[in-house]
Chain A
Amino acid sequence: MTKTLTYESISVGDAMPTFISDPITRTHLVRYAGASGDFNPLHHDETFVKLFGMPRVISHGMFVMGIVGQAITDWIDDKNLRKFGVRFSGMTEPMDMDDQNSKERATIVVTGTVVEKYEIDGEKVMRCEINAADKQGSVKLTGSFVAALS
């Protein structure tokens, strides 16, 4: 559960608790496709991606952003989120069930750091920079969010 973060208790340089996803599987991608309505075959149909010389399907970038969103709202209350933006930098391949070594490339590690504290429109907020990479260190996205503090 999230606990209340206060303006006084947060300092620039503080780290957001590190979040580690489950290894992304093709089943996760199918579930996300159905939930979001993004049925681009790039994300579920191996016979389609092979036409483009890709070895396997890739995750929706927005699924990775969704995972990062969950990492953020594990730390701050959902109602305190004011802004959330990302820049996508790398694709994510799901794990292959017959290759345990593929788990690392499919596991998303989300980290974040408080970079700013300020008041805007009478509200105390912090801005945090965030980074999502897989367990091999390959960066998937970078970005930031702004959250209200009490």
Chain B
Amino acid sequence: MADKTKAGMVFPPYTFEVEKGKIAEFAMAVSQKESKGQVKQIYADSGKAKEAGYTDIVPTSTFQTCFLLWGGGGLMPMLQDVGIDLVRLLHGEEEYEYLLPIHPGDVMTGVTKVVEMYDKEKKGKPGKFMEFTVLEAEIRNQRGELAIRARTTLVER
């Protein structure tokens, strides 16, 4: 059961250096491709990205999920800190706001905060509750500019 006193808690920042190879690897994974040559080239080739009007290679739209998973201590210790029961855990919602582009060489720092914790009665099951924990992360580049805002809703059913 999530510990409601943790609402407002801020986790220690995590840092992730964006590398070309990781961007291409992630693009291959979500495109279900076997090689770099098969993905959209703005994810893999600087020259092609520039031809397409980008400053450099860019990551795919959900790439930032690996900042926390590879750059931080991972999600599990955070969930344990908040007292979330992993056996009952479901990923409810995920939302991103894209404010600035990300390119290879950028060093991204994420700060995640517990913004909301609440219970909701289960449909057709009076007295039974699902517990919601909402996390918001601000991800900034090495210049301190906000690049991505992420919102994650976790549900204990």
Residues of A within 8 A of B (CB): 21-22, 24, 28, 31-32, 34-38, 61-63, 65-67, 69-70, 72-73, 77-79, 81-88
Contact = CB atoms under 8 A, between A and B. Distances in A.
B25 A66 contact: no
A50 to B, nearest CB: 15
A87 B35 CA distance: 30
Chain A binding surface SS class: helix
A27 to B, nearest CB: 9
Contact of A36 (B29, B58, B95, B96): B29
Of listed A24, A66, A85, A86, residue having the most chain B CB within 10 A: A66
B93 A36 contact: no
A37 B93 CA distance: 19
B29 A35 contact: yes
Contact of A85 (B25, B70, B75, B93): B93
Nearest to B150: A85
18 contacts: A24-B32, A35-B29, A36-B29, A36-B70, A37-B66, A38-B75, A61-B91, A61-B94, A62-B94, A66-B30, A69-B30, A70-B30, A73-B40, A77-B52, A81-B98, A82-B98, A83-B97, A84-B62
Nearest to A61: B91
Of listed B28, B29, B53, residue having the most chain A CB within 10 A: B29
B54 interface: yes
A11 B145 CA distance: 34
B29 A62 contact: no
Given A35-B22, A35-B26, A66-B61, 8 more contacts: A21-B32, A36-B66, A65-B94, A69-B60, A73-B60, A85-B151, A87-B92, A87-B93
Contacts of B69: 36-38
Contact of A79 (B30, B32, B53, B151): B53
